[in-house]
Amino acid sequence: MTNSTTKRRAPARRVTAAPETGDRHTDPDRNCPLCPRLVDFRQSIRAREPNWFNAPVPSFGDNDAALLVVGLAPGLQGANRTGRPFTGDYAGDLLYATLLDFGFARGNYEARPDDGLTLIDCRISNAVRCVPPQNKPLPAEIHLCRQFLIATLTTMPRLRAIVALGRVAHDSTVKALGLRAAAAPFSHGAIHQAGNIRLYDSYHCSRYNTNTRVLTPAMFQSVFARVRADLG
């Protein structure tokens, strides 16, 4: 069911194909070679900032969680620097504060991976695991990285709710769940059913979206309030 509340890119290089079937791992290897453009970008940042994480960012949280939050991709100076999703940039400030407010996290968020923050019945991942130039992954890169999102979903036996942050995360999650795109359009506050899993849509909690009032803290909190009410 669906309920609604309502610079120029570098030339793309051919992306290495990945098999559609076979064993899948939930997190890419540190030196994942699948997307040449992202590999080149990753290598350039490693040379410039050797003390940063600079690798595909693994999911954060227990795979026994009932809630999965799916973002777009690691931020250059956020998760790509720290190695933990949504850690070190503004989007994480809003996300983790909201998770704490609704009982999906415990501790203090201090924008670093060793701050002791723990997730409660919640896991966080991204549609694309490597930082993309200008924060804009290409369609082929999103497609290739979806195998890791699918693997993440299939290794969460208690999964009942997914919050997709933004259209890219929504579209990739819809495909990972096997839903028809036309039957599950993106809209902030919308809820889509996929078997016993509900997909909740939210605008991404980026600084741009909040500065322009596309997304307010109250709008963001309303999505997680509904998730909390549904999960109990």
pLDDT at 181 (0 to 100): 96
Place of tokens 């979206």: 209
pTM here? 0.89
Per-residue three-class SS string for the chain: CEECCCCCCCCCCCCCCCCCCCCCCCCCCCCCCCCHHHHHHHHHHHHHCCCCCCCCCCCEECCCCCEEEEECCCCCCCHHHHCCCCCCCHHHHHHHHHHHHCCCEECCCCCCCCCCCEECCEEEEECCCCCCHHHCCCHHHHHHHHHHHHHHHHCCCCCCEEEEECHHHHHHHHHHHCCCHHHCCCCCCCEEEECCEEEEEECCCCHHHHHCCCCCHHHHHHHHHHHHHHHC
Query: Which of 167, 156, 178 has its CA nearest to residue 215?
Result: 167
pLDDT at 37 (0 to 100): 99
Sorted by where each starts, the structural domains of the chain and their CATH numbers stand as 32-231 (3.40.470.10)
pLDDT at 85 (0 to 100): 99
Distance (Å, whole) CA 216 – CA 157: 33
pLDDT at 11 (0 to 100): 33
Task: Give pLDDT < 50 ranges for the chain.
Answer: 1-24
pLDDT at 10 (0 to 100): 33
Q: What is the pLDDT of residues 34-65, one digit of tens each?
A: 999 999 999 999 999 999 999 999 999 999 99
pLDDT at 25 (0 to 100): 77
